[in-house]
Structure 1
């Protein structure tokens, strides 16, 4: 039975793609705008694909697609303040006219739901929870009405890849609004709003510069901690870490124990990921490859430093969750690094050096004490970030 269902689903997906030319023509006919028709057709196909399980009668797939096309075009007309150029009556294969809305699943019509003030407010809050990259492209595409091709060119992505990214953003929104993460998302949002202007000075020194006390916010009930340096994090949105780990941090009320737990989690999570080449997403549990690239959501202090190309990125392309760590954070998270931090609480990060070790290109990450002549260093293989050696110097 499962095999049969998969075969039917695969066949339907193939038919959806074959409908593209007709949908483009239909969008152009309804809107009177040939330039926007391609973008609208892409949106129609993505919505049809993501709601394929709601097609109640396979024999009426074409009418169902027409209904989705109608909704998408109506949304576009409503957002742009334009009127459709023809009555929204469509024809079936026999030439008979019909109202396409009659063939939509009753619970599919998003327009009805979006008219409710409560849902609009909820969507606003959910958007605020999405990763910056995902939120930005969704706002530019669906709120600012930037054409898909123009937006893709602006961010340097292929239109098809951007379309899938937008679809994943929609799925992430749905997870936040209706899935098992809804309660956690709401708690996180309330905490961020409550603490947005409640940064407090901690007793911990910034490990980047070693000159400033860290500012922080912590919520023991939600399992959330953020810290930033008032000098290194010059942009208002920059932080050194923003960690939401309920299973790890819930009940922890002090900053140093919380950060030590975060670092131990970093050592286990990314250590395992670097060894296997993939991780399980902490939100949706999908398999995510480890990438050695700077995330778009990286703070300005990271983009402008020697740490630029030295990050471990496991952000999820499926649910849109943001998850990455700088290589020096991973170095400090090792047991030897935690012991050095315990003994030398005021230290700073030195520029990361490219060296040769064991006959291969390597990276040398070093923290040095501000008060004593002591340092902790880790050697990483340049291409894979595999740890080659760690050593501590004490004088």
Structure 2
């Protein structure tokens, strides 16, 4: 008869226990941290057979500890978040926000959205409180690479806070920090007042009326190609012009290169399963097999970057995106992405093949 082989009970290390105490202290305060962390360790012991991959013990223990903390708060009639008097004021620097308990939870949810080494560097820095040298030793890399990954991860995390996790982060992320209103017009609604943020980590644009809490465009400045593109430019018109010129040349290039490591990359089409307009749901993206850097642009963004469209908008900044029309071009199904007046009169139209997403014709009368 074959017996049942039970896994050897895990022996939690001193470092793992200390990590759980820090996590519980962040969520509950120092008074309860020791007791709740011990309860979490006991629960982990009782369910030790569920740990099928020892390498994932830290993440597994962290998830158990957060659940125990939530039960502790619910039992006392408390909200699961940190008490209000411990939350940062609006406009606080992201580094300060990252010390808060809410982001510990957000980091866990966002880990799957970040490259593995970047996520590991963030967790090591902000959760485990390791030095860059300790993180580098664990990842088998250099301290400079760790510093880059933390900076890169911080910028991407802020992007998540302001877009996909905006509702969860409302009131404590300082999401409006660094944004300023410009005189740039929005291509969707035709009104001036696009907002821009230009700091050491990124250049980003948004329209509060049209972007629904998201961004119109974003350049992470830790990517060398984007850093060189932006340079010392600060004026919104100059930055928007540079972004548009780069977008047009990059996707028109037969052999684009990674914006981070400069290796060749292969453009591929994408389709998003959303209710957004056709030009926003479809576009091109590249992902570098060497460093993992990904860049994408929607059809809408590529249309706006065309020189003819940019000139039409220069002549009439109030032009706005019109509903897409279906046409047949040389026997192929195509879409007409047009900009026009508030009354719906087209001023510039771009014919895009539906299957290949290639621009085959631009109708932009010289007199506008």
Report the TM range for the smaller structure's normalisation.
0.5 to 0.7
Q: Which residue of 2 aligns with 1:230?
A: 208
Q: Please state how far the C-alpha of 1:171 moved relative to its aligned partner.
A: 2.4
Give TM-score, length-normalised by structure 1.
Answer: 0.53
Alignment of 1:1-395 (within 5 A): 28-31=7-10, 33-37=48-52, 40=53, 69=54, 72-73=56-57, 76-77=60-61, 80=64, 139-140=108-109, 169-173=115-119, 178-180=143-145, 182=147, 186=151, 196-219=176-199, 222=200, 224-235=202-213, 238-244=214-220, 245-272=226-253, 275=254, 279-294=256-271, 303-316=275-288, 319-370=291-342, 375-393=347-365, 394=367
Q: Please state how far the C-alpha of 1:307 moved relative to its aligned partner.
A: 3.0
Any stretches of 5+ residues in structure 1 without a counterpart?
Answer: 1-24, 41-68, 82-120, 130-134, 143-164, 297-301
Compared with structure 1, are the counterparts of its residues 76 and 174 closer, same or farther at alpha carbon in structure 2 (3 Å cutoff)?
Answer: closer
Any stretches of 5+ residues in structure 2 without a counterpart?
Answer: 11-46, 66-94, 123-131, 133-142, 159-172, 221-225
Q: Please state how far the C-alpha of 1:172 moved relative to its aligned partner.
A: 3.3
**Bigger RCO of structures 1 and 2 (CA < 8 A, at least 6 apart):** 1
Compared with structure 1, are the counterparts of its residues 34 and 181 closer, same or farther at alpha carbon in structure 2 (3 Å cutoff)?
Answer: closer
Compared with structure 1, are the counterparts of its residues 223 and 256 closer, same or farther at alpha carbon in structure 2 (3 Å cutoff)?
Answer: farther
Q: Please state how far the C-alpha of 1:213 moved relative to its aligned partner.
A: 1.9
Compared with structure 1, are the counterparts of its residues 388 and 27 closer, same or farther at alpha carbon in structure 2 (3 Å cutoff)?
Answer: farther
CA distance in 2, matches of 1:181, 1:308: 34
Compared with structure 1, are the counterparts of its residues 197 and 240 closer, same or farther at alpha carbon in structure 2 (3 Å cutoff)?
Answer: same
Whether the 8 Å contact between 1:280 and 1:288 is mirrored in structure 2 is yes
Give TM-score, length-normalised by structure 2.
Answer: 0.56
- Report how many residues are paired: 257
Aligned-partner SS, 1:29? coil
Q: Please state how far the C-alpha of 1:357 moved relative to its aligned partner.
A: 0.3
